[in-house]
Amino acid sequence: MESTFFKVEIDGAVAHLILAKPEKANAMSPDFWEDLPRLTKELGNNPEIRAMVISAEGRHFTSGMDLSAFNNILDQGTEPARAAYDLRKTILHLQDTFTALEEAPFAVIIATHGVCLGGGIDMITAADIRLASADCSFGIEEINIGMAADVGTLQRLPKLIGFGAAMELAMTGRRFSAAEAKELGLVNHVYETREALLDAAIDMARQIAAKSPLAITGIKRSLTYARDHSVSEGLEQIANWNSGMLRAEDLIEAMQARMAKRDAEFRDLSMRAEKKTA
């Protein structure tokens, strides 16, 4: 779990990724784009991990993509068609970085403070739950450098806050507060201080980690599927999912724990961890 961009902390079933380039406002340099999907997938392959929190060191969550580190991204070379082909590959790779959060088998909670700009919006819209401190401000900054956001904001944000609001924010590039973000539905909760924000994020992750991991991944997959499909397609998807994944063990354990007024204990999502310790 080594990284040149992130600090990785694991406490029981909760993983915590911390953006750790505060001297550069956690600008997303090339190692960010390599390490985030790699770490997410490695954690996803660990059946003992049931929730993940992403936060940041320093004054700001992130100022977005580190453009100075990608100064050759628009180099057209001598043959425009092949240069365009290479640029498209780069964009798709950057998109996959955040899709990894959406595809993770556990809940992903992002806690933002300071500023969350540009690529930061792309990232948080791919998370399952977004929390913010009261001092946090947001902005879809790509329009201010003459481009349309292309790493997920324009595709995911309208599903969270509505078409009209997303269009306005993307076209104007204006900053908006944590309070407005909550009113729009971009963030779930706002906390007075960064300390309270982090405490709440970790506490929420622990609450989710205590639930049935089969149920959590089923909720995540089904809600994401429903977002992109019709109601009838979504109903069929959850019927197929539960017919294959719904088992008596977790249901019985949940009911018995409630009756006994104790914490439920669920198996890990995969049997691989049990085989390793057997």
Residue 7 backbone phi and psi in degrees, to 5: -95, 140
Alpha helices in the chain (DSSP H): 30-44, 80-103, 119-125, 153-161, 163-172, 178-184, 194-209, 213-227, 231-245, 248-260, 272-277
Domain spans of the chain, in order of start: 6-209, 213-277
Does the fold of domain 213-277 match that of domain 6-209? no
Instruction: Report how far Cα 131 is from the mean position of its chain's Cα atoms.
Output: 11
Helix 30-44 vs helix 80-103: crossing angle, to nearest 10: 40
Q: Which CATH superfamily is domain 6-209 in?
A: 2-enoyl-CoA Hydratase; Chain A, domain 1 (3.90.226.10)
Cα 182 to Cα 186: distance, rounded to the nearest angstrom: 6
- Find the length of the chain: 278
State pLDDT tens for residues 189-198: 999 999 999 9
Q: How far is CA 138 from CA 61, 71, 119, 187, 255, in A?
A: 10, 24, 11, 11, 42
CATH of domain 213-277: 1.10.12.10
Torsion sign across C-alpha atoms 185, 191, 194, 195: negative
Please list the ranges in the chain whose pLDDT falls under 50. Answer: 273-278
Q: Which pLDDT tens digit goes with each residue over 90-117?
A: 899 999 999 999 999 999 999 999 999 9
d(CA 84, CA 74): 9
For 70-103, give one letter per residue: b (16+ CB within 10 A) or e: eeeeeeeeeeeeeeeeeeeeeeeebbebbbbbbb
Strand order in the sheet with 115-117: 115-117, 137-139, 176-177
Q: Are 16 and 43 in contact (CB under 8 A)?
A: no
**202 to 127, 195, 261: CA distances (angstroms):** 15, 11, 23
